[in-house]
Amino acid sequence: MSEPVVPWDELVGKCEGMGLLAKHLYVVFTTPTNGMGPVMENLEAHLKFQGELEAEGIMFGAGPFPDDDEQRWEGEGMVIIRANSMAEAKEIADRDPMHASGARSYRIRHWLLNEGKVTVEMTFSNKSHNIV
């Protein structure tokens, strides 16, 4: 028995038709190529680059993954970016000092953000804020 083929454009249209967000983003999964030494050598430049993407409104979110036991960081991470195409997402990922130096390799996946919730609490009296 064969599995049904679901064309991407049809899925996107179905999601839009259902009133879901259907926000197109690109997820960059990044992995060390030669251990943690090169990753640590490029970390400061990488974080500066990430800050620039954030300031330009390109970055949706980013951060590291722990190992399976949640005891160590082995250099893996994920960056979610706003781009108009896979080619544009690749150009952005190529500029990351981690990738440009060869400290990490990456894989990009087109992602359709449909569901979820972000809650921001702001308390004016003490100028505090919290993301729930």
pLDDT in tens, 106-131: 999 999 999 999 999 999 999 999 98
Phi/psi at 54 (nearest 5 deg)? -65, -45
Full-model pTM: 0.91
pLDDT in tens, 70-114: 999 999 999 999 999 999 999 999 999 999 999 999 999 999 999
* DSSP reduced 3-state for 8: helix
Counting every residue, how long is the chain? 132
Domain spanning 8-131: which CATH class is it, in words?
A: alpha beta
